[in-house]
Amino acid sequence: MELTIALSIGVLFGSGIWLILRPRSFQVITGLLLLSYAVNLFIFITGRLSVNKPPLIIQGEVVDPSLYADPLPQALVLTAIVIGFATTALYLVVLLGSRGLTGTDHVDGKERDSTE
């Protein structure tokens, strides 16, 4: 399981980094999405990988912490997903605005070989 997770995070990061270095704004936003998936997975595994362990405990009972998953990274991931989603949506709006005003989807707002 460690290998699968590590490989998938690596692949997501790799593709994300390649995509955000591309010149088209749609590629950049796809890259940002992939990167945020990779980061979310990364945060998730900082609570250590475990199978079939609930993150919640019943109040009032004395519990053995090793039987439970760490709930904090899961809470962090939730927050990070929401924030990442909102900011990416905002970028999408700017992307559309830029496409409408400049007539190109190049990240600089103009094609490289055009003469303004």
Partner 1 sequence: MMYLNPHLMMLPILLPLLAGAVMVFINERHHQLKFLINLSSTAVMLLTAIQLLMQAQSGLWPADMAVYLAANWSAPFGIALVADRLAAVMLLLTATLGAATLVFSYSRWSKTGVHFHTLFQLLLMGINGAILTADLFNLFVFFEVMLAASYGLLLHGYNISRIRAGMQYIVVNLVASLFFLIGIALVYAATGTLNFADLALKIATLDDTDRFILQTGAAILAVAFLTKSAMWPLGFWLPVTYSAACAPVAAMLVLLTKVGVYVILRLWWLLFSEHAGASAGFGGSVLLCGGVLTLAFGAVGLLASQEPRRIASFSAVISSGTLLALIGYGDAALLSSALFYLISSTLAVAAFIMLTELTDRIYTPAASVLALSMEAFAVEEDTQESAGVVIPAAMAFLGLAFAACALIMAGLPPLSGFVAKFSILHGLLDSNTAHAPLWVRWLILTLLLVAGLSAIIALMRFGVRTFWTLYNSVPLRLHPTEALPILAILLLGVSMVFTAGPLFNLLDRVSTDLQHTPAYIERVLQHPVVTTQEGL
Applying CB under 8 A, the residues found at the interface with partner 1 are 20, 25, 28, 32, 35-36, 39, 42-43, 46, 72-73, 76, 79-80, 83-84, 86-88, 90-91, 94-95, 97-98, 101-102, 107-109
Residue among 68 and 91 whose Cβ is closer to partner 1: 91
Residue 17 CB, shortest distance to partner 1, in Å, is 9
Q: Which class for 113: exposed (0-12), middle (13-18), buried (19 or more C-beta within 10 A)?
A: exposed
Residue 61 CB, shortest distance to partner 1, in Å, is 18
Residue 65 CB partners (closer than 8 Å, separation 6+) = none
Structure tokens at 93: 């709006």
Residue 95 CB, shortest distance to partner 1, in Å, is 7
Residue among 54 and 102 whose Cβ is closer to partner 1: 102
DSSP, collapsed to helix, strand or coil, labels residue 107 as coil
Residue among 67 and 90 whose Cβ is closer to partner 1: 90
40: number of Cβ within 10 Å: 18
Q: At what angle do helices 25-45 and 2-20 cross, to 10 degrees?
A: 150
Residue 50 CB, shortest distance to partner 1, in Å, is 14
Phi–psi pair at 21, nearest 5 degrees: -90, 0
